[in-house]
Amino acid sequence: MLAAVLLLVEAHASTGGLLGGAAIMAAVGAVALLLLAAGTGLAVSLAVAVVIGATSLTVLLFGARKVLAARGRRPHTGTKAMVGHVGVVRRANGHLRVFVDGALWRAQPDVIAEASELHEGDRVVVEHVRGLTLSVRRADAWELVR
């Protein structure tokens, strides 16, 4: 039961595998005690416990590797995925609008850039997203070549 509780806690509060490792040790100990109580020999109990422990540890390490690999990736959806995308400036009703990824967004120039520096048709790069407003700057020549 302790192993099951530790695995559930590890699933909901990631501890980097610490609780998962403790759950594996608890499960291996429980299997060894059950086998010894059932009357099997010490060698059989230890062999089964080692196999279960090695298998569980392999699964835990494989999962940890996958989690760590996913952490370093850039997001593919949501507002954070917009950062770095190139768009075209359009003006509507005197307010700055930018066409990015098939949608027209409300925009504001980056802190360094001035609104007067951006004209209709200019290529801009999304610096960050706040709500439904994009913060943009003029795109450099190297950012337009893809």
Q: Distance between CA 106 and CA 100 in Å, rounded?
A: 10
C-alpha to C-alpha distance for 15 and 17, rounded to whole angstroms: 5
Tell me, yes or no, whether 67 and 86 share the same domain.
no
Q: How many domains does the chain have?
A: 2
Please say which residue of 27, 54, 71 terminates a domain: 71
Same domain (yes/no): 55, 105:
no
Task: Give per-residue pLDDT as tens, 78-128.
Answer: 778 889 899 999 886 678 899 998 889 999 887 766 656 788 888 999 998
Whole-number percent of the chain with pLDDT over 70: 94
Q: Of the residues 71, 97, 124, which one is the last residue of a structural domain? A: 71
Residue 115 confidence (pLDDT): 54
pTM of the entire predicted model = 0.52
Confidence of residue 64 (pLDDT cuts 50, 70, 90): confident
**Better-predicted residue by pLDDT, 14 or 25:** 25
The residue segments making up the domain with residue 51 are 2-71
Q: What is the pLDDT of residue 126?
A: 92
Co-location of 43 and 96 in the same domain: no
97 plus 64 within the same structural domain: no
- Are 85 and 120 contacting, i.e. CB atoms less than 8 angstroms apart? no
Give CA–CA dist 87/89, Å, rounded: 7
